[in-house]
Structure 1
Amino acid sequence: MKSYKRLFAIFLSLVFIFNSTIVNVFAYNPYDSTNYSNEHITIFEVNDTRIDSYEDDLGNTILEQYVNGKLTQRNTVKYGYSSIEREFFESSQSNLDSDMYSDYHKDTINVDDYLTLETTNGIDGVDNLKEQMEVAQRTLGTIKYRTVTNSGPMFYGIRCSYNTSIYSSTYTINNYLGTVVDLISLLVAAISIPKLIISQYVTTLLFGLGIYVVGGYVKKAVSDTVSARVTEYKWNLVDTTNSAHRKNVSGFKYFITDKKSKAKNKTYYEGYLPKEWKTQALAVWFHNEMFSYSVWDVVGWS
């Protein structure tokens, strides 16, 4: 009987795969930050300079600068702190002073010494009650799934709602002149924008100001004041068959306004977003957050 049930389950699985109008997917979530832990990824590459990044087991962000393929500097941005540990290799020059080091050297810098940051909580630019209510809690609905068990098909789902928080950060880069890895490290440590987005912003900023990078160094002083408006979507996922089984995940929208109009009106997204509602991708990512079934379908939205 047990063998029969297993064969029946396999048969139903094949029926789901070949006859369902909705495609079964086994997806990798590109927005899951754990996918990047301990994995080196290139976040900046211009001319002879490349910067790779990864996270250690403590959540610290490691940024490594390579010039012509050779490691010249490694920065560690401590999780939850505004200090940055720097390591220099061979004849790398300290970017915030004029000293040269013939071999390995290590020091620490602090964000407050180089950037001016002001954070405002609340709704930036929202003046009326209607717009304030629109960013309050919202229930989107239920994603419906089915899987196959030894007893036959099983139907279940996730009730999805989210809260929206909006805050803004204004930060000033004060006549910065030095390595690109230090500039990116300072911004990663100073504001709550992911390193992938920071790297895109730095590239846009430098080109917008007509500043070039050679040998890992910014060749002209950077001064700029930027306002970043961050919208955070805090999702509440609840299992429809077991209300005690729930999980909170987040998504972000970043709107960058450069007051010097060099990189203005840039919008970046990260994580789980309401605009993805009723897409197969979001259904897959939420399923992977909540369940471990290997074969399943999305059967509807309500």
Structure 2
Amino acid sequence: MRALVVRATGYIGSAVARRFKAAGAAVAGIARSAHNAEVLEGEGVIPVAGDLDHPATIAAAARDFDITVLAGIGSGTDERAVVSAVIESCRRSARRFIYTSGTGVLGIESRDGQWSDYTFAEDDPFPFPGGATRAWRLPTEDMVRTAGLEGVAGMVIRPPLIYGRGGSTQVPAIFKSVRTTGSACYVGAGLNLYSNVHVDDLADLYWLVATNGASGALYHAVSGEADFRSIAEAVASVLQCPTRSVTFEEGCGIWGEQIAGVALAVNSRSIARRSQQELGWKPRHRDIIHDIRAGSYFEKHTPAG
């Protein structure tokens, strides 16, 4: 298999590239500059010229590969334009395409940090007002899935909170709150839940979808869940500091309104029914709290690490 991984040096993309290479695939990544090309080569990834701000260059590159994996875009880029261009490229060349969305589209606002008992499988109805993430991302999901039903092998993966290897969005945000306030902070009661998956288990799912995924299908990737107060307590145990509840407004001051509102003051609970039943996906890592207290985050944030 020849695979083009867009954002191959990012948190998700680098894990996907490692997994595909381990399976014997020839993996390439988009290089916007000579420096980007050097970084890719250092990771054993073939650099291919392209620029996400010019979607036609991504589409042109995709024609030379069996599958294109869009492992994130980055702020400031017209994601829908990139996806549309890649879909058209795949339509002309009978290639496969994986689009990375996220369970932010299932986010239920929780500015008081209370939990919700709503959990969603891949195609369950969502009986709540959609937030900003759902408003712009769900139409892109639908575009990929519709193309998948019209002859383009387009598939969508929705990761939840991703952790492992010292990365993530939410976990580093809690560590950041310690640097800013002296405490590991959470919003309100901190009982709100976000399903999670280890980045290496997520990469396993990408490989399964690439090799056996159904055109037009949506796949979740979930191995566990934890509330944000428990995550903050784990961070506090690493840094030997107190925890603290903050209001949503205080949280916006610590993390910015985007991260506070979309990533930390919500419930986003999902299950990976289709991924497990149809693809046989079996996550190996199931404990985000242990990874914080004694795993990759402990190693990253303590002098001994």
Q: Is TM (by shorter chain) over 0.5?
A: no
The alignment's TM-score, normalised by the length of structure 2, stands at 0.34
Q: Whose helix fraction is larger, Structure 1's or Structure 2's? A: 2
Larger radius of gyration: 1
